[in-house]
Each structure stands twice: as structure tokens, then as C-alpha cells.
Chain A
């Protein structure tokens, strides 16, 4: 169990007081599991809470009190005296509330919660926060119908047939057992067992052309996830373009001339890498391997020449 910076600090102490009071009495083990921290951290937090107190004005303190015998002999926490935080607690800060509201905005449409329930929860969070400027906002995502159908299939464990288009290949019909929807930077991905290829695959939702139910049985065991990387490429890019390629990077960017950096990226599929580099708008250059450089050159030449004869550009301003 790791312990984050957040869990070392008075946040845990404050929360622990409320938690123990609401629970009546809890074991150190239960509290550690509830907060996801080591038991030792809970013991330390308990000792700190009960070491502290409200100043009585005469240089001494009115202290929190617990059943110390139960704590020392049985690892049980049971509060007997609370000089503060009796019926009040620290509210969410405006930014904590914003983080919750922003997260809710991003995911709510993918859940089965009714929109009015979500709106009510948003209002409840706003009123549970202390006052402050509205410093975080996120746009509402329109949830594609396909995402809802896949969500239901995951829940019901039903196998779907999808028409899927892979870059550089035509549309293929695949039978999949979906296990998760990943919402990643505004893009939706479907994690699924591909029943024809007998492997776990990730599908981009916006490349799925059609979804149909099937009567196929849900697989008895899900295949292992395998990661196929065919090689790596070296790229020189502006810092902003390097940030766009960061998901594929296998090395930290190293400065080459003050304005540009060099980095290695994974090549999992040549067409996909060419697209990712081209989407940097000319701010990224493939340095090696030479074959990929040539492919990048061809990519640009083809695009400048027009994809096919019938697609003469028809200006319309």
C-alpha cells in the first residue's frame, strides 16, 4: 500500500475524527482499509489527534479523548470526548468541489443515472463547498449512443458484433466481449476480448461504424492482454509537438537546439504513427529509421497531390 502526500497531513486527522464518531468504534485495521493507508499511519493519526486539544486559555488544553485501554490492548478506536468538530466539519474547498463537479460532468452521461439526479448532486456539491471563485470548468460531452449500448453489453455480459475500421484497412466485422469503456482525454475506447482473434483489443469508439447484438456465449475466460510494438522511431519536435506525442514516447525529451527536443516513440502501427506525427502540423520530424522517414515523405506528397482523381478541390468561399 502506498501512501500519497494527501494522506500525510491534517486531512486524514479531520476525516478520521468524523469517521470514528460515525462508526461508534472501529478497529485500526478497518480504518486503515477504509482510508487505504497502512495501519501504522492510522495509529499515528489517532495519537496525534488525541495529543492535541483546544486551548483552555490558561496554557493547557481540553483534549480529545478515547478509550485508551481498548486502543492499546485491542487496537480498537472509540472516541469518548470531542472538544471540537462535534457537529461541524471542514467543507470542500471551491477547487475540491470543482474537481468533483468537473469529473461528474465528464462521466455522468455514461452512467445510468437520471440527468435530474446528476443535476441535484451537482447543486449539493456546490452548496457543500466554502465560497470562492469558480476556477475550474469542463465542457459537457455528448455521449454517443454506441457508448450506451456498449455499457449495457458490459453490464449484461453480452457479446456484440461490430463493424470496425482500422487505419490502412477496410471495415471488418468483429465479435467482441466488451469489458470496459475508457474515457481518455475526450476520446472513448472500448476494451474488449476479440473472439475471432482470441486476444484483448482496444477499439476507438469513433471508428465503430455499426453495432449489433449476437447470441454468442460470453467467453469462459478472457484472454491475456498482449501489447504488440513493432519498433521505435526517433523524432525531433518542438516542445509543444513533443507534448502531443508524449503518450507514445519511450524516452524523456532531450533538448537539441534550445527550441526543439529529441524523443523516441513506439511504433505499434506505421499508418497510426505517421498520422500522429503529421497531426503535429509539421512541428515534428522523423529522424530515424530511414524507412519511416521515406513513408512520412510519401504521406505528405500523396496528400498534397490529392488522394484520387475524382477529388479535385472545389473552392467555395
Chain B
């Protein structure tokens, strides 16, 4: 068998697809593309074609299928690269200051939830010989740190990092791309037992350092936001029972809603003056002082209860009463769980 590497075959497929304006039928592609040529037509070749389309999609190359009216045999369907996938190389050229900023922007995701996309983006940007950003520092030419050297580069001053704490992230993104619904066990803040959720995944939102999934919860029949960190099972995906399309502004709408909750939800706390809690809560975004109390904003009463519990005796919740109760319950659970000299859970 004339074995052509997948990479070479996919590149040949792309070349064929960008060269046509009317598109090629599958049969035409099988005859024309190196790697398909000479292979027996059948399930194996069809599967190879599907895999190659998926691989191109990962690079942002979406293949459009045009079905002639009245034809359902799929034999006459024409494949071509979606308009707008290709643009001018000049669109991806940036000046020195922009390159510096992009380098930093890419660095944020070195180990984080958007690592794959940022690496792919970096590869596209490096088509410009002037662009050297987005590589780990130790692999960046001329970027080894020199203690007596000139002014340190921005990238060595600022080390942004978003770690891949949320293992569900990749699975959710992949499902969202392929418009498949996802099923996972979710431990809602404040609850002790996870519940299975079925969701049409729309978008990922990073809010106050936490990644969240926004989607349509099929059980609740409404839009819901899930903390990725609280997805406690592997994410399974399956064909959507109802085909769905993420709203174009899903991410920004969700972010605006979270900002709104944050602006209106607050807790009044006494913090021991000068304590760690006092300093950190004062530095927290939007904290204000009122009648000797710190007014602390949050997006979820259970999450802020957890955070306040972590400050122990440095803080006491003044209002609302419900919030005081949530912190008290947590402290009682901690006290009771640690009452015996040896852990109940010890083996």
C-alpha cells in the first residue's frame, strides 16, 4: 500500500479544497488527493476522510458541504472551505509593541485551559519572521535571561499563568465544537452529593479566576453556569437529541450576568483589624467600608461562605443572617470532623 502520512494527506486535501470555488464531490476528492488516490472506496476511506476533516477543523479550517437541491444520496454534495477561513497574511502581521503584548497574551495559557488554541495561534502568528512570541522562555531564541543584560523583556517581568485545574475543559470544548451534548456529575456549591447534568455546551467564561461552563441545561430547561472545578466525573459527550447552536454572544452575556450578580450580592463582615483577612478582603475587588464593616462582593453565597470560613477567627459575618449561618455550619462541620484524635476516614 502506498502509505502517505496523515499530515501530507491533510495538506493535500486542504490544497485541493482551497483551489476550488464550486467545491469537489467526495468522489472527485478521492480521485485527486494524494493519500486517497488508489485506495479502495469503502468505509475505511470514508472514515479517513471524516478524520481528516476533523483534523482540519482543529486548525480552524471549516469545511462547508453544499447539497444540490433534490439530492439526498450524498454523492453529489460538494465540499469546499468555508468563506472567511482564508484571509490575507497581512492581517496577521503586528508591530513591535503588538507582538510584545501578544507574546504575553499567549504566555497566559502555557499550562492553562486554552493551551492548544494559544499554541495553534502562536504557530499561525510565527508565519511572520518578526514574530517570536508564544514559545516557552527556554525555547525562545535570544530570550535567555542575562542578569547583567539590558532592560528585561516584558515577558520576563510579567509571568502570567492560568493552570489547567479544570480537567473537564478540553472535553467540553471539543463537544462544543462538534455541537454534541455533554453529561457530567456536578457538585453544586453548598451541596454534598453530585447530580448528573445534561447540557448543551455553549461557552467558557473566566470570572474572578474561576473557569465556568455556560450552556443550556436540558434538565432545568434553562441557561446555566457551571464551575468547571466542581464537575466531579469525566465529561461524556453524545449526539444532541435536538440540534443546537450556541448563541453568538453566549460568553459575553454570561459574563455580564455574573458582573451584575457580583455588583448586587454583598456580605458585611467584621475583620480583625490588621489581620490577614482584613488586608486581603480590603484588597479584594470592589470591597468598601461601611459603619466599621467591610462590605465584600461575591458571585455565589456558598463560595463566599467557603472563602470566609478559610479566614477562621479573623472574620465574623455581620449580615445577612443567612450568610452568617452558612459560615457557622461550615465551621461546625470542620470542628465535628476533627473532634476525634484520629480521623474517621483513616484506614
Contact = CB atoms under 8 A, between A and B. Distances in A.
B249 interface: yes
A92 B332 contact: no
- Interface centre among A49, A93, A167, A294, by most chain B C-beta atoms within 10 angstroms, is A93
B77 interface: no
B140 interface: yes
A138 B205 contact: yes
B107 A103 contact: yes
A19 B126 contact: yes
B123 A299 contact: no
Interface in B155-199: 156-163, 165-166, 173, 176-177, 187, 192-194
A139 B62 contact: no
Interface in A118-171: 118, 121, 124, 127-128, 130-131, 133-139, 142, 144, 151, 154-155, 165-168, 170-171
Interface string B202-230: 11111111100000000000000000011
Centre residue among B58, B91, B161 by max chain A CB count within 10 A: B91
A9 B307 CA distance: 44
B288 to A, nearest CB: 14
A23 interface: yes
Nearest to B87: A91
B47 interface: no
Given A36-B140, A107-B108, A139-B208, A278 B334 contact: yes
Interface stretch (B15-23, B65-73, B235-243): B15-23
A91 B86 CA distance: 5
B335 to A, nearest CB: 4
A139 B118 CA distance: 18
A1 B117 contact: no
Contacts of A276: 310
Contacts of B135: 36
B49 interface: no
B158 A130 contact: no
Contacts of B193: 259
Given A103-B104, A180-B158, A294 B313 contact: no
Contacts of B88: 87-89
A280 interface: yes
- Chain B interface residue count: which class? 35 or more
Interface in A46-88: 48-49, 51-55, 57, 59, 61, 83-85, 87-88
Nearest to A7: B123
Contacts of B333: 281-282
Contact of B121 (A22, A23, A99, A170): A99
B313 A236 contact: no
Which of B98, B121, B176, B194 is the most central at the interface, judged by chain A CB atoms within 10 Å of its CB?
Answer: B121
A11 B120 contact: yes
Q: 10 closest A-B pairs (Cβ-Cβ)?
A: A186-B209, A93-B60, A279-B310, A103-B105, A282-B333, A287-B343, A18-B127, A137-B251, A281-B306, A300-B335
Given A10-B59, A99-B106, 18 more contacts: A13-B11, A55-B19, A55-B33, A90-B124, A93-B117, A96-B60, A98-B114, A99-B117, A107-B105, A107-B107, A133-B202, A137-B204, A187-B209, A275-B311, A275-B312, A297-B335, A316-B318, A317-B321
22 contacts: A15-B124, A59-B32, A61-B34, A93-B120, A99-B117, A103-B105, A104-B104, A106-B162, A107-B105, A135-B251, A137-B203, A137-B254, A181-B158, A183-B158, A185-B162, A244-B229, A259-B193, A274-B312, A282-B329, A288-B346, A294-B341, A304-B331
